[in-house]
Amino acid sequence: MVIMLNIIKKLNVQNVFVGIAAAFLACTGPVIFVIDAANSIGLTKIELVSWVTSIYFFGGLASLILTIYCKIPLIGAHSLGAVAFIGTSSFEYSLPELVGGYVVSGLLIIVVGITGLFDKLIIPLPTPLVNGMLAGLIMNYVIEVIPAIKAQPVIGLSAILGFFLTPLLSPKIPRFVGSLFLGTASLFFADIQVNTGEIKLIIPEMVAPSFSFVGIVSLSIPILFIILSNDTAVAISSLRENGFIPPVSMTIIVSGIFTTIAGFFGGHAAGIGGMTTALCSSQDAGPKIKRYLAAIVGSLLIMLFGLFSWLAIPLIQSLPSSYISIIAGFSLLSLLTSIMHSTFGSDQFYYSSIFTFIIAMSDISIFQISSAVWALLIGVITSKVLKENERSKY
């Protein structure tokens, strides 16, 4: 209590607003995307609430502990990239098998943090190939925006308008915020009836995990690489760019611990995020010595959202499926643009990146091994055969 009172006394307006913005970033588009993925793999309402509660509460708690202890803005909730992977690659797995995959990925993250294998794991695996895999998975969701706009043109056109108008208001506001705001506002003009039914408190339930070699290869390892390369690495890089010295091993270990805990409730990840950490460590969050306060504000709000997800989820689920697809797609556009540039913006790994992208997007499964794993495997083999790391694309 004394610590929190001291923190409140130190807060300034920049800390508060950037912290709120970070929480908004974590709790709007991404949660709609999680709900969309849960619908795709057929989770029940209790299973969905357990998933959302675990990733936001434990993700926020991990952020809060790291930020207060290190006095560095380390904030996040879960991995958006991992959700894209799960939503397109987990149809053949039962919930216990998924939970087993999540728990193992959390334990593997802890091992990486303890052994200091972060650089040795991420650097040898070419970033364009990892991003090519992720781009292929995300593309499946973004494509769904087109038929959704055809089904609900008022919502779709409003979201597009918000996407283009947002930078005119402020270049610091993410474009998907405008899509979310105008897309949601258009619900009132599209004559859509919203019926939430009975809303009642749902307590998250633990799930007994089921472990298998196929699950580890097809779920745990891809999730491990997605989290480390697209969340942890981005967060650490952002901190360094803003003049901080991040505790790499501690950050990875704590994220791994809370990912493991969240896994038992059906949560795929819980830890530090790239975009939220970048926001709270930037100059917008105020003087450098006080920027960690913005992360504390954001972490507390993220935890609060997790605790009340049982209330938010029925409201979101009562909205048209086309609205969910449109907002989920627009929430991913920024991430897709970034990783597409990383994938195809370099002369190296040119053909292997293309093969990785196409195979991941195909959503095939062979021997119960997902397209994401095959995409990475074939991409790495192609890069070795063509010796792409040694020369330009032609």
Q: How many domains does the chain have?
A: 1
Question: Which whole number is the average pLDDT over 217-243?
Answer: 85
pLDDT of residue 369: 67
Q: How confident is the model at residue 5 (pLDDT cuts 50, 70, 90)?
A: low
User: Is 278 a domain residue?
Assistant: yes
Q: Decide: residue 389, CB within 10 A, 0-12 exposed, 13-18 middle, 19+ buried.
A: exposed
Confidence check: pLDDT of 393 > 50? no
Q: How confident is the model at residue 194 (pLDDT cuts 50, 70, 90)?
A: low
Q: What is the mean pLDDT of the chain?
A: 84
Dist. CA 359–CA 373, nearest whole Å: 9
Question: Which whole number is the average pLDDT over 14-36?
Answer: 82
User: Is 191 a domain residue?
Assistant: no
User: Is 14 a domain residue?
Assistant: yes
* 203 against 125, higher pLDDT: 203
Q: What is the largest CA-CA distance in the chain?
A: 63
User: Is 248 a domain residue?
Assistant: yes
Q: How confident is the model at residue 160 (pLDDT cuts 50, 70, 90)?
A: very high
pTM, two decimals, is 0.77
pLDDT of residue 196: 62
pLDDT of residue 124: 62
List C-alpha distances in Å: 105 to 18, 40, 215, 264: 31, 22, 10, 12
Domain membership of residue 266 as a residue range = 2-127+205-325
Q: Which residues pair with 369 in a beta bridge?
A: 366
pLDDT of residue 394: 42
pLDDT of residue 324: 78
Structure-token match 């991913």, residue found: 332
CA atoms within 13 A on the CB side of 372: 30
Q: How confident is the model at residue 123 (pLDDT cuts 50, 70, 90)?
A: low
Tokens of 204: 């998250």
User: Is 142 a domain residue?
Assistant: no
Question: Which whole number is the average pLDDT over 44-62?
Answer: 95
Question: Which whole number is the average pLDDT over 182-187?
Answer: 86
User: Is 147 a domain residue?
Assistant: no
> Which of 65-79, 162-176, 274-288, 372-386 is predicted most confidently?
65-79
pLDDT of residue 164: 92
pLDDT of residue 339: 78
User: Is 304 a domain residue?
Assistant: yes
pLDDT of residue 121: 67
pLDDT, tens only, 88-110? 777 788 999 999 999 999 999 99
User: Is 159 a domain residue?
Assistant: no
pLDDT, tens only, 248-289? 999 999 999 999 999 999 999 999 988 788 878 888 777 888
Name 205's Cβ contacts closer than 8 Å, sequence gap at least 6: 46, 47, 50, 265
Q: Are 225 and 360 in contact (CB under 8 A)?
A: no
Structure-token match 């954001």, residue found: 298
Q: How confident is the model at residue 18 (pLDDT cuts 50, 70, 90)?
A: confident
